[in-house]
Structure 1
Amino acid sequence: MKKNFVPYLLIVIGITLVATSIGLKIYSKNVESKLIHKFDKEIEDSINRNKNLKSNNKNLKNIEVKFKKVEHGREFAIIEIPSIDLKSVIVQGVNKEELRYYLGHFEDTALPGQEGNFCIAGHSSHIYNELLNELYKVSVGDKIIIKTLKKDFEYKINKKFVVEPSDVNVLKQDKSKKQMTIVTCTNNGAQRLIVQAELKK
């Protein structure tokens, strides 16, 4: 009797694991979607304020974009990669909690549009949001749009390659360039897929 019970127990465990995985994905997507909606509204409000400011002061032309220090865990940009239909929020930090739901920014690297290397990371996970599962499909020449409260920035992909997890040279800061780097895992998780892009002038 006990032997006959084992297959049913295994089936129940399997169903529970699948249901849990699906539940986590749905929850993660809801968390991400709410923050995207919230930050989209903040960007829209910021654009309207800037328009009013410029209309009230016609002497304001090209003002240099300067970012204040971003608090850890705080959202500060939205990323869009049209070629793979990706839209997500970028938050400050790459700890487990940040990367569970969003893309994270390496805190010691440049911010959008700045000189240096704006570096972000995200999971290609089958457990949570699967944010960067399609990143391997991008091609050289594809565009990446970074939306902030200050300004939108457009980058053009110029490199895609794989490195070992220990290779941190991809985060190197070259102040003579304005580039960005996206880091995620390969399909088997053993290596890191790197996508790099240059700021469009």
Structure 2
Amino acid sequence: MRWLAYVLITAGILTMCYPKLKSYYYTNQENQLLKSWNHPPNEQAKDNYKKLNQVFTETEKPVNPSMRSPQPNRLLGTLEIKRIHLRLPILEGASLANLKIAAGHISGTSAIGENGNAAIAAHRSYTYGKQFNRLTEVKMGDFITIATKEKALTYRMFAKDIVKPTDLSVLHSKTNENIITLITCHPFKNPTHRYIVKAKLIKIVNQ
């Protein structure tokens, strides 16, 4: 009869542990869903984001002739922020050549206007009012407008942050979320970090 006692003890232990095991199971399932909801950046986006370190630090150095001229046919549209009186062209690719004259869409991140997270980088120019040198003045709730040949997209700022250049979380995207992430160097001189502004799409008008 000793075996029966062992069976009953084991059954009792399992009965007591069942709620915890059930909770653990569903917590694990929940975490898996959250992981599928929050998409990390792909390898192309990661590589291009890391290249910003070189782009942001070489603004005063001679440009390689092969990188000297941006491609006009890569013009995606314009970015406008009325708060800081900024209107800036957006080119595809955050290269050294592109960022000398425009903002650059980081290739590998979501296309502008499509679901996901479209990352756009620009320098902080020493000329007042140029590029992203006044990005820190943009406030929560301010509107950011991107105009393409097909659409006028209005975004509302909902977050800002200062992160290390190695922090790739700023490129993460979520299913059914349509946002842009504006990226520039920080502080203005001798930058060691990135200044980040995030805005969510709230309106689309066909041109």
TM-score in terms of structure 1 length: 0.61
Q: Is the 8 A contact 1:79 1:145 kept in 2?
A: yes
SS state at 1:166 partner = coil
The aligned counterpart of 1:174 is 174
Please tell me the residue identity of whatever aligns with 2:122: G
Please tell me the residue identity of whatever aligns with 1:121: A
SS state at 1:131 partner = coil
SS state at 1:98 partner = helix
Deviation at 1:198, TM superposition (A): 0.4
Deviation at 1:129, TM superposition (A): 8.7
The aligned counterpart of 1:191 is 193
Q: Is the 8 A contact 2:85 2:129 kept in 1?
A: no
Structure-to-structure mapping, 1:15-94, within 5 angstroms? 74-94=74-94
The aligned counterpart of 1:116 is 116
Please tell me the residue identity of whatever aligns with 2:139: S
Deviation at 1:140, TM superposition (A): 0.4
The aligned counterpart of 1:47 is none
Question: How far apart, in 1, do the equivalents of 2:124 and 2:199 lie?
Answer: 19
Q: Is the 8 A contact 1:77 1:147 kept in 2?
A: yes
Question: How far apart, in 1, do the equivalents of 2:129 and 2:139 lie?
Answer: 22
Please tell me the residue identity of whatever aligns with 1:190: T
Question: How far apart, in 1, do the equivalents of 2:173 and 2:72 lie?
Answer: 20
SS state at 2:139 partner = coil
Q: How many residues align?
A: 132
Deviation at 1:168, TM superposition (A): 1.4
Greater radius of gyration (CA): 2
The aligned counterpart of 1:136 is 136
Residues 115 and 85 (structure 1), Cα distance of their counterparts in 2 relative to 1, 3 Å cut:
same
Residues 147 and 127 (structure 1), Cα distance of their counterparts in 2 relative to 1, 3 Å cut:
closer
Q: Is the 8 A contact 1:98 1:104 kept in 2?
A: yes
Deviation at 1:125, TM superposition (A): 3.2
The aligned counterpart of 1:97 is 97
Deviations 1:136-157 (A, max 9, x none): 0000000000000111000000
Question: How far apart, in 2, do the equivalents of 1:160 and 1:128 lie?
Answer: 21
Q: Is the 8 A contact 1:101 1:128 kept in 2?
A: no
Deviation at 1:173, TM superposition (A): 2.5
Please tell me the residue identity of whatever aligns with 2:80: E
Task: Give every structure 1 segment of 4 or more consecutive aligned residues whose post-TM-superposition deviation is greater than 6 Å.
Answer: none
| Identical pairs, percent | 33
The aligned counterpart of 2:145 is 145
The aligned counterpart of 1:200 is 202
RMSD between aligned residues? 2.2
Residues 135 and 166 (structure 1), Cα distance of their counterparts in 2 relative to 1, 3 Å cut:
same
Deviations 1:11-43 (A, max 9, x none): xxxxxxxxxx9xxxxxxxxxxxxxxxxxxxxxx
Q: Say which structure is richer in strand.
A: 2
The aligned counterpart of 1:158 is 158
Deviation at 1:126, TM superposition (A): 2.5
TM-score in terms of structure 2 length: 0.59
Gaps in structure 1 of 5+ consecutive residues: 1-20, 22-70
